[in-house]
Amino acid sequence: MRIALFVTCLADTLFPGVGKATTALLERLGHDVTFPQAQTCCGQMHVNTGYLQQALPLVRRYVEVFEDCEVIVAPSGSCTGSVRHQHAMVARRYGDEALARRAEAVAARTYELSELLTDVLGVEDVGAYYPHRVTYHPTCHSLRLLGVGDRPLRLLRRVAGLDLAVLPDAETCCGFGGTFAVKNPDVSTAMLADKMRSVLATGAEVCTAGDSSCLMHIGGGLSRLRAGPRTVHLAEILGSTRDQP
Amino acid sequence: MSTYLGMPTAPPGVGHLRGTQPFDIAARRALGNSQLRRNLANATSTIRARRAAVVGELPDWEALREAGRAIKAETMAHLDRYLEQLEEQVTARGGTVHWARDAIEANRLVTGLVTDAGAREVVKSKSITTDEIGLNEALAAAGITAHETDLAELIVQLGHDRPSHILVPAIHRNRAEIRDIFLREMPGADPGLTDAPADLTAAARTHLRQRFLAARVGISGANFAVAETGTLGVVESEGNGRMCLTLPETLITVMGIEKVIPRWQDLEVFLQLLPRSSTGERMNPYTTLWTGVTPGDGPQRFHLVLLDNGRTAALADQVGRQALHCIRCSACLNVCPVYERTGGHAYGSVYPGPIGAVLSPQLTGVEENASLPYASSLCGACYQACPVKIDIPSLLVHLRARHVEERRQRRVPSPESVTMAAAAWVMASPGRYAAAQRAGQAGRVLGRDGRIRRLPPPLSAWTSARDAPVPPPETFRDWWRRERGTAQ
């Protein structure tokens, strides 16, 4: 299958390993990966901070860039959530019904990585090898906006060598919340403290999730405290093999 | 862009819909209170578990939620008609209906009714709405003493405190604190009072019983008002509400106009949704329904005050009006990770938590409660728990947008709006975007051992507690171009 990668601005700029791992994983499974280079950002930060009008050109760009693609994958629950649940709403708010319909059509072909693997490609064992103790944090937007359910866990359970530890209070928000983290830094940190306590309680060396943003938050806290565990995106775990760890 | 016809009318300085500090500042202080943090974590986790258990046993829970949502949406679409029907039915059955535009008008009305009844004291129950309008203060100014009779409201009143939860107003207090308040403030309290729940309840019962028997006027709120029959309804756990509703000669009920429901049969839906969502019970211990006046039985004079106080302004916003669907169960507070850590006082309004963050700014005008729509990480736990499916995360985003749009009409743009406009301009072009990425890579010089410990404002708010990642030497798109060329 020909799959267009929407790498997301955050992974593109700060976590390129997530994009490389997604590419390697899908190619290993025998698919063609394309990267439309006119892509930028889904506009979620603007929408969630209230700047819907500024997000409108970004919605239009996303639609124009990906409109001709058969299937689009993003290694992010929240960016996929924005495409699926916000793009048409933004277009309608400013009276562009035609754009809203096009956005809905593209959104219907945009998948978060674990959705693409399990629902579209029908695979759970991706042939990965990752010999570490790992705990999984279900990010809020993947869990409640997309409803990915246990798809990421089903994928992780099939990874050779991986020791999966259950995260206590897993479904509680880590406190990232986009600009919430800087507008309400104290509350955000209080939530982070509890999430880090849960991660540490598992004895895992790696905390994984489907969103680089939440991982940047959790990982930034763990790193500041020299707590031990590190954060690794789900794509990077699924992309690892014995030959190319 | 939409035009909002309704004007918020809750006037500043009256009632309790606004805090004195923005949420982030008030929250910082609350977060430092370890007793509060422990009390809240214990209480909310207990209620959460109870709710999950009783909701889980209903196979048709999702259908019930959808029914609740649909009834509320239909009610809001024809609110004028249902309110007039309610007035007609209440009047036909011997009650008197009053309309109050805002807090000041409602307070004046109620104070006048109490004075007309010749009372200097009133007993009150189940009325967060009267707290919204600051009725107790207005009564006090007229020389009338109001006695709160719901146990938690009594604790709050005796402690000269503010409620911090819609359903459990004293959730921020533990047993030891409650005992201390009773010993200090309750006339004739036994000095040997322990903090055992049964002892505390017995002390409150003794204290309240005299007030119930002496009261000539009772003041209540309402959970529902049935337009079809003119019936008012209150659900509660203690029975104190029923004493308030049945013992006095005069009953005054203050109700927000959004509490009306069209039909008697609609109670079937809400009486299932509410107790399971609020206290985590299959059925609440006391449900009191009354219709007008019944000669020789219960209050012989019944006044219903229908309060707007900003509600029609919320109704005028087709997205925002969803907040009026709320049945005050407080399930969203109990599942909210922000509320659980800050408690209710940080929100500055009698309506705290996620629903408060979308309701209070609409009642006062967004500018006057501008920090509240941002008091959420948009995690969506509230939407999942809401028994009438209010999409609180989308409402929060909508109110943020209203705030940004209202601010844009000012001449001087805020630093944030400049940053957001610049970011949107950059993102709208792949060329500018790639150039900005390269500029950002200059940030690599800030990195030590693969992390950045300090960034300048506003990102210092990030690095105050978290390391930031060092920008990599090569972005993904540069890697792709190097490896695969410029073809897709």
The SS3 call for residue B479 is helix
According to the model, what pLDDT value does residue B408 have?
Answer: 84
Inter-chain CB proximity B380 and A61 less than 8 Å: no
Which two structure tokens, joined as six digits, stand for B406?
A: 């209202």
DSSP lists the bridge partners of residue B225 as B232, B260
- Whether B476 has its CB under 8 Å from any CB of chain A: the answer is yes
Which two structure tokens, joined as six digits, stand for A175?
A: 């406190």
H or E element that contains B124 = strand B121-125
How many Å lie between the alpha carbon of B426 and the closest alpha carbon of chain A? Answer: 9
Inter-chain CB proximity B429 and A40 less than 8 Å: yes
According to the model, what pLDDT value does residue B3 have?
Answer: 46
Mutation site for B-interface testing, chosen from A8, A33, A141, A173 by largest number of B Cβ within 10 Å? A173
- Whether A197 has its CB under 8 Å from any CB of chain B: the answer is no
Residues in chain A: 245
A107 and A15 inside one domain: yes
- CATH number of the domain to which A177 belongs: 3.40.50
What are the residue boundaries of the structural domains of chain B, listed by start? 429-484
A17 and A73 inside one domain: yes
- Do you find a cis peptide bond into B413, omega within 30 degrees of 0? no
Do residues B140 and B146 make contact, with C-beta atoms less than 8 angstroms apart? yes
Which two structure tokens, joined as six digits, stand for B439?
A: 């500029």
DSSP assignment, residue B229?
A: T
Complete DSSP assignment for B35-84: HHHHHHHHHHHHHHHHHHHHHHT-TTHHHHHHHHHHHHHHHHHTHHHHHH
- Which of A176, A185, A190 is the closest to B464 by Cβ? A185
**Cβ-based contacts of B399 with chain A (< 8 Å):** 50
Measured on CA atoms in the order B17, B21, B23, B28, is the torsion positive or negative?
negative
How many Å lie between the alpha carbon of A90 and the closest alpha carbon of chain B? Answer: 10
Minimal-distance CA residue of chain A relative to B22: A184
- Which of B402, B466, B476 is the closest to A224 by Cβ? B466
A182 within a domain of the structure (yes/no): yes
d(CA A7, CA A73): 8
For residues B171 and A170, which has the higher predicted lDDT (pLDDT)? A170
Inter-chain CB proximity B24 and A145 less than 8 Å: no
The CA angle B33-B39-B44, to the nearest 5 degrees, is 125
- Whether A43 has its CB under 8 Å from any CB of chain B: the answer is yes
Do residues B51 and B280 make contact, with C-beta atoms less than 8 angstroms apart? yes
Q: Which stretches of B292-432 are assigned E, i.e. beta strand? A: 301-307
User: For residue A203, what are the CA distances in angstroms to A139, A164, A191?
Assistant: 20, 10, 20
Inter-chain CB proximity B427 and A9 less than 8 Å: yes
Complete DSSP assignment for B333-352: HHH-HHHHHH-SGGG-SSS-
According to the model, what pLDDT value does residue A65 have?
Answer: 98
How many Å lie between the alpha carbon of B340 and the closest alpha carbon of chain A? Answer: 10
How many Å lie between the alpha carbon of B18 and the closest alpha carbon of chain A? Answer: 18
Strand order in the sheet with B286-291: B260-261, B224-226, B231-236, B286-291
Minimal-distance CA residue of chain A relative to B481: A37
DSSP lists the bridge partners of residue B452 as B468
Rounded mean pLDDT of chain A?
97
d(CA B161, CA B181): 11
Beta strand pairing call for B286-291 and B231-236: antiparallel
How many Å lie between the alpha carbon of A242 and the closest alpha carbon of chain B? Answer: 23
Q: Which stretches of A97-238 are assigned E, i.e. beta strand? A: 110-112, 133-136, 163-165, 206-209, 230-233
A9 and A116 inside one domain: yes
3-state SS record for A90-128: HHHHCCCHHHHHHHHHHHCCEEEHHHHHHHHCCCCCCCC
Inter-chain CB proximity B462 and A47 less than 8 Å: no
- Which of A15, A16, A184 is the closest to B24 by Cβ? A184
Q: Which stretches of B192-313 are assigned E, i.e. beta strand? A: 217-220, 224-226, 231-236, 250-256, 260-261, 286-291, 301-307
Q: B263: exposed, middle or buried (C-beta count within 10 Å: 0-12, 13-18, 19+)?
A: middle
A126 within a domain of the structure (yes/no): no
Do residues A225 and A146 make contact, with C-beta atoms less than 8 angstroms apart? no
Inter-chain CB proximity B337 and A191 less than 8 Å: yes
Minimal-distance CA residue of chain B relative to A218: B466
Count how many Cα atoms sit within 13 Å of the Cα of residue B227 in the half-sphere of its side chain: 19
According to the model, what pLDDT value does residue B6 have?
Answer: 61
Q: Which residues contact B217 (CB under 8 A, 6 or more apart)?
A: B113, B114, B117, B119, B121, B122, B123, B248, B249, B250, B251, B252
Minimal-distance CA residue of chain A relative to B475: A13
- Whether B472 has its CB under 8 Å from any CB of chain A: the answer is yes
Residue that the structure tokens 């209540």 belong to: B220
A97 within a domain of the structure (yes/no): yes
Mean of the pLDDT values across residues A139-165?
98
d(CA B288, CA B239): 9
d(CA B310, CA B106): 13
According to the model, what pLDDT value does residue B458 have?
Answer: 87
Do residues B360 and B370 make contact, with C-beta atoms less than 8 angstroms apart? no
**Cβ-based contacts of A188 with chain B (< 8 Å):** 377, 465
A125 within a domain of the structure (yes/no): no
Range of the domain at A150: 133-239
Inter-chain CB proximity A37 and B480 less than 8 Å: yes
- Which of A51, A86, A177 is the closest to B377 by Cβ? A177
A93 and A158 inside one domain: no
Inter-chain CB proximity B474 and A186 less than 8 Å: no
- Which of B23, B342, B377 is the closest to A173 by Cβ? B377
Do residues A41 and A213 make contact, with C-beta atoms less than 8 angstroms apart? no
DSSP assignment, residue A129?
A: B
Do residues A169 and B381 make contact, with C-beta atoms less than 8 angstroms apart? no
A19 within a domain of the structure (yes/no): yes
A residues 110-149 lying closer than 8 A (beta carbon) to B? 140-141, 143-145
How many Å lie between the alpha carbon of B152 and the closest alpha carbon of chain A? Answer: 26
Instruction: State the pTM of this model.
Output: 0.96
Do residues B164 and B343 make contact, with C-beta atoms less than 8 angstroms apart? yes
**Cβ-based contacts of A41 with chain B (< 8 Å):** 427, 433
Per-residue model confidence as pLDDT tens for chain B (488 residues): 344 556 666 778 889 999 999 999 999 999 999 999 999 999 999 999 999 999 999 999 999 999 999 999 999 999 999 999 999 999 999 999 999 999 999 999 999 999 999 999 999 998 899 999 999 999 999 999 999 999 999 999 999 999 999 988 999 999 999 999 999 999 889 999 999 999 999 999 999 999 999 999 999 999 999 999 999 999 999 999 999 999 999 999 999 999 999 999 999 999 999 999 999 999 999 999 999 999 999 999 999 999 999 999 999 999 999 999 999 999 999 999 999 999 999 999 999 999 999 999 999 999 999 999 999 999 999 999 999 999 999 999 999 999 999 888 876 788 888 889 899 999 989 999 999 998 888 888 888 888 999 999 889 999 999 999 999 999 999 999 999 987 65
How many Å lie between the alpha carbon of A127 and the closest alpha carbon of chain B? Answer: 24
Inter-chain CB proximity A12 and B477 less than 8 Å: yes
H or E element that contains B122 = strand B121-125
Do residues B279 and B49 make contact, with C-beta atoms less than 8 angstroms apart? no
Query: Considering its fold, how many domains does chain A have in total?
Result: 2
User: For residue B254, what are the CA distances in angstroms to B68, B99, B181, B307, B326?
Assistant: 23, 10, 28, 7, 17
The predicted-structure confidence for A193-207, as pLDDT tens digits, reads as follows: 999 999 999 999 999
**Cβ-based contacts of A93 with chain B (< 8 Å):** 1, 401
- Which of B399, B427, B461 is the closest to A182 by Cβ? B461
